[in-house]
Structure 1
């Protein structure tokens, strides 16, 4: 791959996919899917050009992977929401790499509206969800469209497992 930024992005997407598949128990010790046909398998998506469908598919989430130094979270969240719509998934989130830290410590940014929907599906009050998944809240001005919740990728894996286990979204 001749473009170093593309190679860096692909490596981050693959690391996210591999981490979630391992954490969710979807692969064996060698990293092979236990059930290759399962819709629960986390996969990297093929690029779709103008109608991009996100970087990583982890039903019910589209994950937009970002391996950059400077964060632009509200912009990224708008992108993830559009890409989730293109893919026919209910939720779009962003996974931002934390320099020098393991993949489990990547930061998953979730729009407040999505966080509220997730809590509703799980029947989790605000404080319970925040404590259970280590959520922190960011409010950017008075425009609530710029507000978001952040959790570590390891905590997001637990959230994903809980949503799938509760059959909250299918």
Structure 2
């Protein structure tokens, strides 16, 4: 019998992947890729052991999917950023399932540093970026390494689409952006 927590985690990863592929227009109505070889496709990554490369690759992002009762966001973000470096992607984010809610309501968390790098790549002011993608701030004491920003998976999907249309992404051709 499979580990029930592993089964829940795998189901959440697959739900995120499927939602993003559909939102970004990369699959048909049956979930089949229009171009199976495209670097734009959102994919679950193979387990890599000690040099883990994250759960989901959504160029230019590595997503660390979490389906847990108790959040540990700063720890998840450190993990996601390390795994993004291992995978050769510039941004690592954590995506937490919200119990009892649909997939688009999942919470996407980013560190302040990652948020700033994405915002600057898009050429937006902090106020414009926060308003456009619905970011909220979590400040945990005076230790800035524990500060992060959060949005929904739906707003993050809009961000991915906008980023791909406006910033050159390695492996993602302009035609599919």
TM-score interval, normalised by the smaller of the two chains: over 0.9
Residue 123 of structure 1 is matched in structure 2 by 123
Q: Which runs of 5+ in 2 are unaligned?
A: 171-177
Matching of residues 11-26 of structure 1 within 5 Å: 11-26=11-26
Contact 2:110 2:150 in 1 (8 A): yes
Partner SS, residue 101 of structure 1: coil
**Does residue 67 of structure 2 align to residue 75 of structure 1?**
no
Q: 2: distance between equivalents of 1:72 and 1:39?
A: 31
**Deviation digits for residues 79-107 of structure 1 (CA, Å, limit 9, x no counterpart):** 00110011111010000000000000000
How many equivalent pairs are there? Answer: 170
Q: 2: distance between equivalents of 1:167 and 1:127?
A: 20
Mean Cα deviation higher: 16-25 or 139-148:
139-148
Q: 2: distance between equivalents of 1:38 and 1:149?
A: 30
Q: 1: distance between equivalents of 2:24 and 2:94?
A: 19
- Normalised by the size of structure 1, how large is the TM-score? 0.98
Q: Which runs of 5+ in 1 are unaligned?
A: none
Partner SS, residue 2 of structure 2: coil
- Normalised by the size of structure 2, how large is the TM-score? 0.94
Residue 53 of structure 1 is matched in structure 2 by 53
Task: Spell out structure 1 runs of 4+ moving beyond 3 A.
Answer: none
**Deviation digits for residues 51-74 of structure 1 (CA, Å, limit 9, x no counterpart):** 110000000000000000100000
Contact 2:107 2:152 in 1 (8 A): yes
